[in-house]
Amino acid sequence: MSVSPSDSGLNALAPANDPTFGNVWDELEWRGLVHVSTDAETLRELLGGPSIVFYCGFDPTAPSLHLGNLVQLLTMRRLQLAGHRPLGLVGGSTGLIGDPRPTAERTLHTRETVEEWVGSLRTQVERFLSFDGDSAARIVNNLDWTAPLSAIDFLREIGKHYRVGTMLKKDAVAARLNSEAGISYTEFSYQILQGLDYLELFRSYDCVLQTGGSDQWGNLTSGVDLIHRVEGAAVHALGTPLITNADGTKFGKSEGNAIWLDAEMCSPYAFYQFWLNTLDADVIARLKVFTFLPSAEIAEYERRVAEEPFRRAAQRRLAAEVTTFVHGPEAAAAVAAASEALFGAGDLAALDAATLRSALEELPNARLAAGTPVVEALVETGLVSSLSEARRAISQGGVSLDGEKVAADDAVVTGSLPGGVSVLRRGKKTLAGILLA
């Protein structure tokens, strides 16, 4: 089977489950998305049968979702494509509390901030699901059913079904109890609120499955246990694995910063580059989790990684697919062209001004006035350490400006590229951006 990089992003435009799997549960397992669950055989039968309602929750602890959330959004989309109906829960109430972190209390944000973030997250979640057809998605906010509930009603109707001993055994709670920070009653109660969410969605929508990260397993099973106690019904939970890199480093961050799904917080170019820099040891697993490519196509990329890793075909396809899914085909095409022009053989002058500028902001860069000597620009951008080194690099023919070789010491920065910027290159792959002041 031949796979062409020119096909990049096509699957992300019209995502579909792999038809070689008769049951979406089998595909989830093949993609490595089942880390822990309630009864696996029952779940497989449930997901292979008539449409069910399931949900996944997203707390507004920041103004944007991140790559960890993307695992859940893609899992929801796969289940929806199999005919099941998703409820995307944005936590207007749980976001005011915060689930327990392993080390310390979360900062409690103002109600106004949380409300604003709820709106942002709702918009993001809506982008990844379909709201048409028999399996149309619905967005819900848990503040709608917790806000009217008094403290007395909450303790009488919900709290009485929880046993403190069981709550203390939850991993997140146990970790905090054994830490110097301890845990407040506020965060200790989070699992009860999440259990209440599942109960409410079970009662209102006949929701019988909750998905989430495996680190949330204690909170996921909170609702399963509550529904069994209160309603005498059996419902389910599915925990996806926490994604880690083959070298043991934490996935989802670049230079120590989270990779956000909001283009204002992480530019499409930076997003694309994150995926493009995926290690060979990780890229096949990332294609399984973060794309809708079928198993046969991923197997072909696995062969190419083994036989011709220098072509990085799998990384380019991964970057194109995920960027298309998150930021759309136009942004994906623009950043791919920028990457090719900067590091390959594309035309810098043909690039979109905004995309080029955001790309240069990810490179070493300096703000300089038009007419600044190139020798000074080389020093200011950090491509060389001194003016003498800059002159030597130019004399050796190793410096180019905006794609043209610099032949003389008196050459100056022009900002001739779209948006009034310049690209300075030393050697073949060492680049810097010049943003005109």
pLDDT digits (tens, 9 = 90+) for 300-317: 999 999 999 999 999 999
Q: How confident is the model at residue 429 (pLDDT cuts 50, 70, 90)?
A: confident
Chain region(s) in the chain for CATH 3.10.290.10: 363-437
* Other CB atoms within 10 A of residue 144 CB: 11
pLDDT tens figures, 18-53: 999 999 999 999 999 999 999 999 999 999 999 999
How far, in whole angstroms, is CA 400 from its chain's centroid?
36
**Can you name the residues that pair with 209 across neighbouring β-strands?**
54, 236
Q: Which CATH number fits domain 33-240: 3.40.190.10, 3.40.1160.10, 3.40.50.620, 1.10.1660.10?
A: 3.40.50.620
Residues 424, 378 contacting (CB under 8 angstroms): yes
Cβ pair 433, 381 in contact under 8 A: yes
Q: Which residues contact 210 (CB under 8 A, 6 or more apart)?
A: 54, 55, 56, 57, 198, 220, 223, 224, 235, 236, 237, 238
What six digits make up the tokens of 100? 């327990």
| CA–CA separation, 222 and 224 (whole Å) | 6
User: What confidence score (pLDDT) does residue 344 get?
Assistant: 74
The pLDDT of 195-205, averaged and rounded, is 98
For the segment 254-279, what is each residue's pLDDT rounded down to a tens digit? 777 889 999 999 999 999 999 999 99
pLDDT of residue 89: 98
- Is residue 252's pLDDT more than 50? yes
What mean pLDDT value characterizes the chain? 92
Region 245-361: CATH code:
1.10.240.10
Q: What is the mean pLDDT of residues 176-180?
A: 83
The burial of 85, by beta-carbon neighbours within 10 Å (0-12 exposed, 13-18 middle, 19 or more buried), is given as buried
User: Regarding beta strands 85-90 and 421-426, do their DSSP bridges make them parallel or antiparallel, or are they unpaired?
Assistant: unpaired
**What is the location of CATH 1.10.240.10 in the chain?**
245-361
Per-residue confidence (pLDDT) for residue 6, from 0 to 100: 46
How is residue 321 written in tokens? 């697919």
Burial class of residue 414 (count of CB atoms within 10 Å of its CB; 0-12, 13-18, 19+): middle
Nearest to 2 by CA among 291, 299, 344: 299
Question: Following CA atoms 196, 198, 202, 208 in sequence, which dihedral angle do they give, to the nearest 10 degrees?
Answer: -160
Q: Which of 165-174, 271-280, 423-432 has the lowest average pLDDT?
A: 165-174
pLDDT category at 5 given cuts 50, 70, 90 is very low
Neighbours of 147 (CB within 10 A): 10
* DSSP, residue by residue, 123-167: HHHHHHS--SSTT--EEEETHHHHTT--HHHHHHHTGGG--HHHH
What SS3 state is found at 288? Answer: helix
Distance CA 424, CA 401 (A): 5
CATH 3.40.50.620 residue spans of the chain: 33-240
- Per-residue pLDDT reduced to its tens digit, 368-399: 999 999 999 999 999 999 999 999 999 999 99
The answer to whether residues 211 and 238 touch, using CB atoms and an 8 Å cutoff, is yes
Q: Is the dihedral of CA 348, 351, 357, 359 positive or negative?
A: negative
CA gap 318, 274 in Å, rounded: 10
State the fold for domain 363-437: 3.10.290
Residue 179 has pLDDT above 90, yes or no: no
Q: Is the pLDDT of residue 227 over 70?
A: yes
Close Cβ partners of 371 (under 8 Å, ≥ 6 residues apart): 412, 413
CB 419 within 8 A of CB 353: yes
Instruction: Give the residue-averaged pLDDT of 167-184.
Output: 84
pLDDT reported for residue 4: 43
> What are the Cα distances from residue 72, in Å, to 33, 49, 77, 210, 219?
10, 22, 9, 11, 15
Give the pLDDT score at 8: 55
**Per-residue pLDDT tens over the stretch 229-243:** 999 999 999 999 999
Give me the pLDDT at residue 2, please: 36
Reported as a pLDDT band with limits 50, 70 and 90, residue 424 is very high
Q: Are 289 and 70 in contact (CB under 8 A)?
A: no
Least confident of 44-58, 80-94, 122-136, 417-431: 417-431
pLDDT attached to residue 428: 81
d(CA 399, CA 194): 59
| pLDDT at site 3 | 38
The band of 105, judged by pLDDT with boundaries at 50, 70 and 90, is: confident
Contact 361, 386 (CB under 8 A): no
